[in-house]
Chain A
Amino acid sequence: MKIAFIGQPNAGKSTLFNGLAGYKTITANFPGQTVHYTISKVKVGEDIFEIVDLPGIYSLTAIDKAEFEARKYILSGQADVVINVIDASTLSRSLELTLQLTELQVPMVICLNMIDEARRKGLKIDTEKLSQIFGVPVIETIANKGIGIDKIFVSAKEVYQKKLIPKIQFFHRDIEERIEEIERTIPKNFFKNLPRRYIAVKLLEGDEELFEGVKSYSEILKKINHIREEIKITHGRDTDMVISSERHALTMNIFEEVTKIGEPLKTLREKVDDILTNRYLGYPLLFSIIFGIFFLVFEVGKIVEKPIVSLFELAIEKLPSIIKEGSLGFFLIKGLLEGFSGGMGVAIPYLIPFFIGLTILEDIGYLPRMAFLMDTVMHRIGLHGKSILPFVVSYGCNVAGVMATRILESQRDRFITAALSVFVPCAARTSVIFGIVGAFIGGTAVAAVYIFNILIIMLLGAILTKFAPEVTPGLIMEIPPLRAPTLKNVYMKTWLRLKDFITVAWPLLVVSSITLSLLEYLKVDIFLNKFLSPIVSLLLGLPEQVGITLLFGILRKELSMIMLFQAMHTTDLSAVMSNIQLIVFTVFTVFYMPCVGTIGALIKECGIKKMLIITVITLLVALILAFVSKIFLSFFI
């Protein structure tokens, strides 16, 4: 039995899903967090349930790409049961989606999640009555506390066995007559797995996908357009607006019938929220929060890094006494040790505190508030506040950042945000910045690199906007209430993200490290370095051995640093490279070419052509910036 979780963004679908399936998907207090769907099989007693966590959708009229994906899945008719997850505190709005879901005529359970939130707002919901209206079970849950989630499978099984299909709520008579008229007109084999009424309503609304399908029947198309015209004349508005207000009226009727509104509890939370988005205090707070996280990441990471790295260094130093220096075995073991040391000593000490910080910000719901505060600034670079999410996520990983651009409505915004996101130093590049600039030059220089990076991103944004002028109306976004993060969620999410690094990136680090050792043994590295030397040595003024490390960096950005240690035959880089060279190397690594993972994500989200454009831009920018830094810094250092 296949169960699909459908609901509006930030209704808690993923939290419910994780509660049922074990921790499989990343959740956050941000509308549109889930951009692709996760499937999991769960065995309860004798039954096997396949549950699908879909991206949130406000309605079946898809607005952004994530919504479009979810809608496609729902319409494909794969789900045996639909669980309509509703944030009970936004019931008045959420019921509009419920109304549309009833038209799909699939067995359904209504799940009123965050019922505690609703009570806090003074909403009392009569679930009995709601259940009567739709003719399907209504259950109450508090997903993040695990309350009520056991009822989901029971209800799902019940509606599946009894074939409890939700009752359609009818519009006004005149509109219903028109709907019937269209239902009679459309041919039998037209989208045959969709209910007739759904097709008719969507055609009235002018749904693009269905209109595309009806194009080949010119007679029918004519008739539908005629009906739409007639409605426009009698109601004085476009049919999509007529249907929408019909639906709104129905929703409000049901809402008023099933809820009693009491006094909301004014708590500390509202006061904190008010300060976080305060026009004067909001910005210094934003700055201190971001700065605080980086400071903590740096300080904590440094303490852990030192002993681990020195342990591995000791092992490498001792190596010649165990195995003959210069032999194949020596090179392989050295490569292995260096690869391990890179993952364990340099990346993980910084990654763990960073992921914890990011998770807490996400779960509290600070990111939408950041979007609110940063809207003006983002307009300066031709975007709006929502683009801040892909940027923030990119500080963790560009792949996730590029995928997060799906929450944006227009293709133009998605492209510009994706193009700028790949310049954001991800966790991998963060370890390069800390591991090279931080370790050998100091904390102020690290801060300077970050600020420089942000300025360049803003400048690029301003330039890209010149080529693609802003056409989007701007920010339209729900700001969900602040929530206290739960320890379990922070722990599980950090672990899930770290697992990605350990299982995907780290093996790659080790293998590449061994490969470089092997290349060195075979003396191929010298050849490759010679080939790259016009750029590396002449243009950027770096040692020739650096060339090959930059090639490895395309696989994973932190590889270029690990490889650099290996290529220079020391972890004490300051002995072999000048400060200028270290900065030039870091600047180049931070800006040049997205890693293979990100390239893959770019192809998926923007297409090959745009991926190539973005890649060329990054290479040019990296070359120019590294060259300029070299010239500029030579006057000061």
Chain B
Amino acid sequence: MKTLLNIDDGKKVKILKISGGKTVRQHLQCLGIHIGDIVILKKGSFLGGPVLLEVNGYDVALGRGVASKIEVEEVE
């Protein structure tokens, strides 16, 4: 299963599963990240750093820990 950490920069992905507690899930929902949504991975994690996602036209940074909990598949 691929997570946001195994995707190349610039790829479009669909979010399949968000593991982790309710708080993380709710927080992600607040920023417009839901299961089934399609997002673009703008910048992958580098040296344990965060990833940068583009969600419906705006950018969201997710720490490595959070990114590893989000399972995705590449689309297109």
A residues contacting B by CB (< 8 A) are 58-59, 61, 63, 89-90, 92-93, 96, 121-123, 238, 240-241, 244-245, 248, 264, 277, 279, 368, 371-373, 375-376, 379, 384-385, 409, 473-481
Q: Which residues of A contact B32 (CB under 8 A)?
A: 90, 92-93, 96
Alpha-carbon distance between A240 and B52 when the two chains are bound, in angstroms: 27
Query: Which among A248, A373, A473, A479 is the interface contact of B59 at CB below 8 angstroms?
Result: A479
Residue pairs across A and B with Cβ atoms less than 8 A apart, 23 shown, are: A58-B30, A61-B26, A89-B57, A90-B57, A96-B29, A96-B30, A245-B35, A264-B57, A277-B52, A372-B49, A372-B50, A376-B48, A376-B49, A379-B63, A384-B63, A473-B23, A473-B24, A473-B66, A476-B24, A476-B27, A476-B60, A478-B31, A479-B61
Alpha-carbon distance between A384 and B21 when the two chains are bound, in angstroms: 18
Q: A121-B57, A478-B60 are in contact. Are A279 and B46 (CB under 8 A)?
A: yes
Distance (whole angstroms) from the CB of A25 to the closest CB of chain B: 23
Q: Is B28 an interface residue (CB 8 A)?
A: yes
Alpha-carbon distance between A373 and B48 when the two chains are bound, in angstroms: 11
Q: Is B43 an interface residue (CB 8 A)?
A: yes
A477 touches B22 (CB 8 A): no
B47 touches A376 (CB 8 A): yes
A375 touches B66 (CB 8 A): no
Distance (whole angstroms) from the CB of B44 to the closest CB of chain A: 9
Q: Which residues of B contact A481 (CB under 8 A)?
A: 58-59
Alpha-carbon distance between A105 and B23 when the two chains are bound, in angstroms: 27
Query: Which among B24, B49, B63 is the interface contact of A373 at CB below 8 angstroms?
Result: B49
The number of residues on chain B lying at the interface, defined by a beta carbon within 8 Å of a beta carbon of chain A, is: 35
Q: Is B62 an interface residue (CB 8 A)?
A: yes
B56 touches A409 (CB 8 A): no
Q: Is B34 an interface residue (CB 8 A)?
A: yes
A476 touches B46 (CB 8 A): no
Q: Which residues of B contact A368 (CB under 8 A)?
A: 61
A63 touches B31 (CB 8 A): no
Closest to A479 in B: B59
Alpha-carbon distance between A368 and B60 when the two chains are bound, in angstroms: 10
**4 nearest CB pairs, A to B:** A474-B63, A58-B30, A93-B32, A475-B63
Alpha-carbon distance between A371 and B50 when the two chains are bound, in angstroms: 10
Q: Which residues of B contact A372 (CB under 8 A)?
A: 49-50, 52, 61
B25 touches A476 (CB 8 A): no
A409 touches B23 (CB 8 A): yes
* In the complex, per-residue mask of B47-76: 1 if CB is within 8 Å of any chain A CB, else 0: 111101001111111111110010000000
Chain B residues touching A, majority SS:
mixed
Q: Which residues of A contact B24 (CB under 8 A)?
A: 473, 476
B residues contacting A by CB (< 8 A) are 20-32, 34-35, 43, 46-50, 52, 55-66, 69
B69 touches A473 (CB 8 A): yes
Closest to A380 in B: B48
A376-B47, A480-B59, A481-B58 known; 16 other A-B pairs, CB under 8 Å?
Answer: A61-B26, A89-B57, A90-B57, A121-B57, A240-B26, A248-B29, A371-B61, A409-B23, A473-B24, A474-B50, A474-B62, A474-B64, A475-B61, A478-B31, A479-B59, A481-B59
Alpha-carbon distance between A475 and B28 when the two chains are bound, in angstroms: 11
A90 touches B52 (CB 8 A): no
Q: Which residues of B contact A409 (CB under 8 A)?
A: 23, 27
Distance (whole angstroms) from the CB of A472 to the closest CB of chain B: 8
A93 touches B56 (CB 8 A): yes
Query: Which among A92, A279, A371, A477 is the interface contact of B56 at CB below 8 angstroms?
Result: A92
Query: Which among A58, A96, A474 is the interface contact of B66 at CB below 8 angstroms?
Result: A474
A277 touches B48 (CB 8 A): no
Q: Which residues of B contact A96 (CB under 8 A)?
A: 29-30, 32
Distance (whole angstroms) from the CB of A283 to the closest CB of chain B: 10
Alpha-carbon distance between A279 and B46 when the two chains are bound, in angstroms: 7
Q: A385-B63, A473-B66 are in contact. Are A479 and B52 (CB under 8 A)?
A: yes
Query: Which among B30, B59, B60 is the interface contact of A59 at CB below 8 angstroms?
Result: B30
Q: Which residues of B contact A475 (CB under 8 A)?
A: 50, 61-63, 66
B26 touches A63 (CB 8 A): yes
Q: A279-B46, A409-B23 are in contact. Are A476 and B59 (CB under 8 A)?
A: no
Q: Which residues of A contact B64 (CB under 8 A)?
A: 375-376, 379, 474
Closest to B34 in A: A248
